Chain A
């Protein structure tokens, strides 16, 4: 247990204004995530889980409270530092894959490397290695339209991994996939977690959440439960 925590969130708060009416998306959310954990975040829509994921992904900053990721305080960072954090430390996987159309799988995976300050000497080789890791070594030249949904999500995962991040964030990664493919994707995430990667998955699918070791439940912007997945499966 000697390693320092990867994420420390304290009293996180975020308020949106919708037509002049303040709406508390997050209220007093706090938790700690250790390196190597596999965490699922569940909750009904509007519970604040997407806001939380955006903040953890350095796409957004909290209004109140403090958040440290990999030892760095996020709240005070400027746009360029946040971009570097997204590039180096965090890998993002989206429900809609968000691959560049008419662009090969290899070039899609290579994308984060273009914005990286410390690059591997051979970008193509690095991208190819990540595609092989997710089982698409024979699809490097295919464009998204030539790939199935599951394969597209694998490309997206390879893209998230290409900069060797410490944290993988997945926002409904199986939301657009059938159950068979979903299981494969979750198995891939579990395998990556077993290799030491910290994984946080936002989902409303209990089966998906069951793959994780720990479950955070959100409701009305608050964290209402934080327990190992076995205990909360009532």
Chain B
């Protein structure tokens, strides 16, 4: 079959589809929706993966978190944090006993109310060591970080996140040097932190960062301070290029010794690294991706069944036409090719419209959610190929039925 023949079949099919515009459009609807959902799904998936990569780059993957583990009391599992808290001694043991520790900091969190002038705001306080900003780099917008000496002295100083700044200070006012009352403790603002942006429902910028000692002695409620030198969680930055798993094992063995855990009994702390958390979220997203892909495949199949249904009706309606074509010399394969071309063309047109629709929805989602989304050429190719394949698969039965008609019977058909 040469190119000219194919061109003629396409022309024939276009004519037939044009003669039934509304029906063709309705028939292609399933394919349109199917392809549009493939496009949207892919674009959003790519956007989410991109955002994830950016987060990884921002936070670093070689940070290990040590959390207070759960404790079992008489078969009752207490939640995380129920066990013996992590202390300055634990922190020191890790710093001294684990190779490759670049920076280490405690992080004692609590809820507080901050007041500045007439404005007040419920927020989170994070008590950390001076090294915290090396563990989790967080650029300053103005002012300075607090020093190790200030941490040792329990200085009444604070760094504020951009959300706290927005709530408590008017635009254009530099908070540095201002006094803030946090749970009635006066703190001097010595710096403002750059915006990190929304991450998974919580706002990382809605925070006041203070020296850990200050948080421990003045800000965090008695419930959290169960040992005098509690440090909350411990964040450890491991040197670039070190084996993270080995570091985690080293931390675990140091802590077991330090906290005198008998061999064979469970850890009373938990070690996590950020990469694992991201991996978990990645897996979650992949699952969601499969779900969406299944939905898209289903709607393509449903669309294909619609195509088959209408093509069968069309073959019946055009029985006389088919009979005539056979009478003037069309072979079975000519009739077959004609109807297959029609089905494939219908699907491809639906695919193209679905592509445009999907791009529009994607742009809308991107604008509303503020995500970076992208539609790859591969996605477009896959979507159109899938649409064409649906045309071939679901157009086959009607086309074969048309090609097997008996010309005499078909010509007599009323």
Interface residues of A (CB under 8 A from B): 54, 57, 59-60, 79-80, 83-84, 86-88, 92, 94, 98, 100, 102-103, 111-112, 114-116, 159, 163
Contact = CB atoms under 8 A, between A and B. Distances in A.
Nearest to B15: A103
Q: Which 7 A-B pairs have CB atoms at the shortest separation, nearest pair first?
A: A87-B329, A115-B329, A112-B328, A83-B331, A98-B324, A115-B330, A86-B329
B330 A98 contact: no
B331 A98 contact: no
Interface in B180-213: none
B252 to A, nearest CB: 78
Q: Chain B binding site: helix, strand, loop or mixed by DSSP?
A: helix
Contacts of B328: 86-87, 92, 111-112, 115, 159
B326 interface: yes
A111 B325 contact: yes
5 contacts: A79-B332, A92-B328, A112-B329, A114-B8, A115-B329
Contact of A57 (B320, B321, B324, B327): B327
Interface in B283-342: 320-321, 323-332, 334
A43 B15 CA distance: 41
Contacts, number: 55
Contact of A92 (B12, B327, B331, B334): B327
Given A59-B407, A59-B411, 18 more contacts: A57-B327, A60-B408, A83-B326, A83-B331, A83-B332, A84-B329, A86-B326, A86-B328, A86-B329, A98-B411, A103-B15, A111-B325, A112-B328, A115-B325, A115-B329, A115-B330, A115-B331, A116-B329
Chain B CB within 10 A, most for which of A59, A60, A87, A163: A59
A120 to B, nearest CB: 13
A88 B408 contact: no
Nearest to B318: A100
A86 B408 contact: no
B321 A80 contact: no
A142 B323 CA distance: 23
Contacts of A111: 324-325, 328
Contact of A80 (B19, B323, B331, B407): B331
A88 B15 CA distance: 26
Contact of A100 (B8, B321, B331, B408): B321
Interface residues of B, number: 20
B408 A54 contact: yes
Contacts of B324: 98, 100, 111
A94 B328 CA distance: 12
B320 A98 contact: yes
Contacts of A86: 326-329
A100 B408 CA distance: 17
A115 B320 contact: no
A234 B19 CA distance: 52
A83 B408 contact: no
Chain A CB within 10 A, most for which of B15, B329, B411: B329
A100 B8 CA distance: 16
B155 to A, nearest CB: 89
Contacts of A92: 327-328
B334 A115 contact: yes
Nearest to A85: B329
A56 to B, nearest CB: 13
A83 B411 contact: no
Nearest to B403: A79
A98 B324 CA distance: 7
A170 to B, nearest CB: 13
A123 to B, nearest CB: 9
